[in-house]
Amino acid sequence: MTQAHVPVMLEEVLDLLSLKPGGRILDATLGLGGHAVEIARRLGPNGVVIGLDRDPELLKRARERLLPAGEARRAGAEFRLFHSRFSRLREVVAAAGETQIDGVLLDLGVCSVHLDEAERGFGFRTASEDVPLDMRFERTCSEESAAELLARVDEPELVAILRAGEVPAPRRVAREIRARLPLRSTRELEAASRAAGLPRRRHHPATLVFQALRIAVNQEFEELERALDAALDVLGPGGRLVVLSYHSGEDRRVKNFVRREQRGCICPPRLPVCGCGRSPRMRALGRLRRPSEDEVRANPRARSARLRAGERQE
C-alpha cells in the first residue's frame, strides 16, 4: 500500500526559494507535487509553477492532482507540466514560454511511490514476491533495466558502480552477484546481497546495493551534473537554486558545484593570474541543512535528507 506522500523539509525549502507573489518557479522533480502545491499557494494567482518529471506515471498522477480540477484552482497559480529529464530543463523552461525564472527546486532520489509499489522493482521489502528487477524511472523507454545492466557489465564495471554507490566491500559483493547471474528479480538480488556477508547497520545490507544499481540504471549522477549547469543558465539575477539530496554522492556534487560557481575562476592554483576570465555566478546560502528530529520521527524517509541552496549573481 502506498504511503501518503510527505514533502521533505517543506518549510526550509519554501524559505530558501524566497517566494514572491507572481514569481516563476521550476520544480524539476515534480513527483506527486507535494512541494509544488505549497509553492503555488505562495506565488498567488499571477504566479507560475513549471513542473517536470522523468517518470510518466508519476506525471499523470501529478496532472490529476494539480491541474484545474484539483488543487491548482485553490492555489491560484498556473501550472505548466512537462514529461522530461531535469538535465533538459533549459528546453522545458523555453517550452513553458519563459526565458528567466526565479527559482529551481531539485528533490533528488526516488519518490515514495517508487519504493511503495513493488512492481517498480526499486526495493526488496516484498522479496518473497517474484518482482522483476527493473528500477527504471521511465519503464516505457528502451533503456536497460537493472537486470539487463547486471547481465551486460563485467566485474570491474560492477565494482565501480557499487563503489560509486558507497557499497561496503564492493569487490566481494560484485563477485557474489556475478556468481548468481542471471538475476531477474528483486528477491534474487536481495539474496545475493545478503550472501555477500555485509554487516547490518542502520538498514538492511542490500539497501545500498539496490540504491547503487538504481543510480547507475538511471544515470542519476550524470543527470544531476547537467541539471545544475542548466539551472544556473535559466535563473535570473537573484534567482535561487535549492537542492534536496539523499546520498552523499549527490550532495558532494551539489556542494562542489556551488563552491566552483561561487569561486568563479577555474584556473589551476599555480597560475599567478587568472586566465579563464570567469566571474562568480553564485553565492552559497548558508551551510548544509538537515531535517529536524521532529520531522524524522514523523517521516523516517527524511532522515538522510541534505539541503543546500545558492543564489544566482548578476
Residues 28-61 have pLDDT tens digits of 999 889 999 999 999 998 999 999 999 888 899 8
Question: Which residue, among 264, 287, 263, 291, has the nearest Cα to 276 in the 3D structure?
Answer: 264
Q: Is the dihedral of CA 26, 31, 35, 36 positive or negative?
A: positive
Rounded Cα distance, 121 and 210, in Å: 9
Which residue did the predictor score with more confidence, 307 or 109? 307
- Report percent pLDDT > 90 for the chain: 68
pLDDT grade for 203, boundaries at 50, 70 and 90: confident
Beta-bridge partner residues of 310: 241, 284
> Is 243:308 a contact under the CB 8 Å cutoff?
yes
Q: Is the pLDDT of residue 15 over 50?
A: yes
Pick from 93-97, 130-134, 263-267: least confident: 263-267
Cell of 85: 529529464
Residue 130: per-residue pLDDT: 75
> Is 66:36 a contact under the CB 8 Å cutoff?
yes
In this structure, the chain runs to a length of: 314
Q: pTM value? A: 0.89
> Is 96:48 a contact under the CB 8 Å cutoff?
yes
Rounded Cα distance, 255 and 228, in Å: 11
pLDDT grade for 205, boundaries at 50, 70 and 90: confident
* Among 66-75, 80-89, 110-119, 189-198, the range of highest mean pLDDT: 80-89
Residue 306: per-residue pLDDT: 97
User: Residue 70, Cβ neighbours under 10 Å: how many?
Assistant: 16
For residue 268, whether the previous peptide bond is cis, meaning omega lies within 30 degrees of 0, is no
> Is 17:39 a contact under the CB 8 Å cutoff?
yes
SS3 81: strand
Cα maximum dimension of the chain: 63
Rounded Cα distance, 97 and 110, in Å: 28
HSE (side-chain half, CA atoms, 13 Å) at 289: 21
How far, CA to CA in Å, does 154 sit from each of 57, 149, 161, 239?
A: 32, 10, 11, 44
Residue 311: per-residue pLDDT: 97
Residue 74: per-residue pLDDT: 57
Instruction: List domains and CATH numbers for the chain.
Output: 10-112+220-312 (3.40.50.150), 138-217 (1.10.150.170)
